[in-house]
Amino acid sequence: MVKKVSLKEQIREGIFKEIIKGELTGILNEKELIERYEVSKTSVREALIELCQQDVLRVIPRCGYEVVTVSDRDVRDATELRMLLELSCFERAVANMTPEDIARFKDWAFQLKHTLSMEIWQYWDRNLSFHVQFNAFAGNRLMNETLSKTLNILWRANAQQWKRKQATQMQLEGQHPHQVMMLLLEEGKVAEAKKVLEDDIRKIPKVMSEF
């Protein structure tokens, strides 16, 4: 069954994506967002409140909503949490996968690599989806929801770096870690594949600091 997405969720995701892409900056104003999305004040306010609860925005009294800056500490904490969530679920997720599932994720990894140039936000969107959907096979809904929120923190941190460096395109060179991981899983080498994932997670703060 396809999950029905509420209007509030659609607006929240729309605002979040526009923040990531740098299309919404500074102080966000309810009235401007109502006009932008052509929806009611209630729908916009509910979406903004949820983004505040997720620490994406903070309320500035009598002004609007400010985009929260992700700190270096946030990146380190999010990376540590990723390690706990993804690595603890890895073997269970793999055990619940069929050969067809592994083949599908392998194709996904190769499609991502073969996109020679894409907007950075699109790359991270696909990268996030890969990790969340892979982790979902472990069968723990709360852990997967926490992983999604954690990856969103790192996504926002990357967006800050892109804006600072005025970068817009993602260039992929060499073999992507997702490809290596899925090829190893196809061969039944679970421990080696898990190590590839661990190394991929660990390198994120270093890559971001050098961006």
pLDDT at 123: 79
Residues 6 or more apart whose CB falls under 8 angstroms from that of 159 comprise 19, 20, 21, 22, 121, 124
Answer for the pair 83, 148: CB distance below 8 angstroms, yes or no.
Answer: no
pTM: 0.81
pLDDT at 198: 96
Determine the number of helices (DSSP H) and then strands (DSSP E) in the chain.
9, 5
DSSP secondary structure letter of residue 136: G
Helix H or strand E encompassing 189? none
Q: In 23-140, where does DSSP find H-type helix? A: 30-37, 41-53, 72-95, 99-114, 120-135
pLDDT at 25: 81
Averaged in consecutive runs of 10 residues, what is the pLDDT profile of the chain (211 residues)? 72 90 86 92 94 92 92 92 97 98 94 64 84 97 95 87 60 77 97 96 72 49
DSSP per-residue string spanning 143-184: HHHHHHHHHHHHHHHHHHHHHHHT--EEE--S--HHHHHHHH
pLDDT at 158: 83
pLDDT at 117: 56
Long-range contacts of 54-58 (CB under 8 A, 24+ apart): 54/149, 54/152, 55/153, 56/16, 56/19, 56/152, 56/156, 57/28
Structure tokens belonging to residue 193: 């594949």
Structure tokens belonging to residue 98: 């069929």
pLDDT at 114: 61
